[in-house]
Amino acid sequence: MASLGTYLDQQLAQGHAYVSKENARRSLGLSPSAFTAAAQRLVKKHRLANPRHEFYLILRPEDQSLGAPDPVRWIDPLMRHQRIDYRISLLRAAAFHGASHQAAMVFQIVAPKQLRPFEIGRHRLQFIYQAREIFEQANRLEWLDKIKTAEGYAKVAGVELTLLDCVRYFHKASGIDGVGQVVKDIGAKAVPRKLAKIAEVYENSAVRRLGYLLDLAGHSRQSKALEPFAAQAKSFKPLDPAIRPILESSAEDAEKNMKWRLTV
């Protein structure tokens, strides 16, 4: 019977850089406890990494210094293993689309289930929860892109969806200033008609914030597509929800953008 180490070498030779406990155990005829003991030894030797329960990454020599390969290479099989749909979004997606000013220090994934963040090696993964009904409306194939990897493909938000995710979850995207930089960098790449269609899924206030930032960045074609959403607004919302007036008088004195119905 082959050892777990030999089995991992065979998997790598076939182009597989990950393995589930169940598949490996059955292939080798090991009991659950025997597999766990063998896997733990290889984790200590930096041959394996274990980002989630019963899912293992097979580390190549070039991956061992970082503790794990780039998550883009294994996020798709990990999420399929957990039977959870997903999309890479926010700052990592913005960087993929050309937001050169955004150094994505964390790998961010939008999912319809609340999942705890975790670190593996030098990588940090953060999961942003989106209510299932909204997620299913937003996560359509025609609104997603793919990142090609050695193991296959990973799903990433398209430009339009990335912009809306960033402005909706601005507190996870370096705040409103960070989102403003993303909009400036990649806003011109958004297809206006597609942007308006996806915006129907999101809160009106988030869409208006994106419209304002697109205007500010000079992306007028894209901002114009969102103007009908501003016409539907019934009240003013703050451009930066993280900043709340301490006194009512300060709110009255604040600058108001009439076009987007925002307090700046």
pLDDT in tens, 26-58: 999 999 999 999 999 999 999 999 998 899 999
Residues 171, 157: contact at Cβ < 8 Å?
no
Residues 72, 86: contact at Cβ < 8 Å?
no
pLDDT in tens, 97-135: 999 765 567 899 999 999 999 999 889 999 999 999 999
Residue 253's pLDDT is 63
Distance CA(212)–CA(1), nearest Å, equals: 64
Q: Write out the two tokens for 89.
A: 């979004």
Ordered structural domains, the chain, with CATH: 4-63 (1.10.10.10), 71-263 (no CATH)
Residue 62's pLDDT is 87
Check whether 157 has a pLDDT greater than 70.
yes
Residue 250's pLDDT is 55
Distance CA(140)–CA(200), nearest Å, equals: 13
Q: How many residues does the chain have?
A: 264
Task: Tell me the pLDDT band of 231, cut-offs 50, 70 and 90.
Answer: very high
Percent of the chain whose pLDDT exceeds 90: 75
* Average of per-residue pLDDT values in the chain: 91
Q: Write out the two tokens for 141.
A: 């194939």
How many angstroms from the chain centroid is the CA of residue 252?
Answer: 37
Q: How far lies 195's CA from each of 61, 161, 163, 221, in Å?
A: 43, 8, 9, 11
Task: Tell me the pLDDT band of 247, cut-offs 50, 70 and 90.
Answer: very low
Percent of the chain whose pLDDT exceeds 70: 94
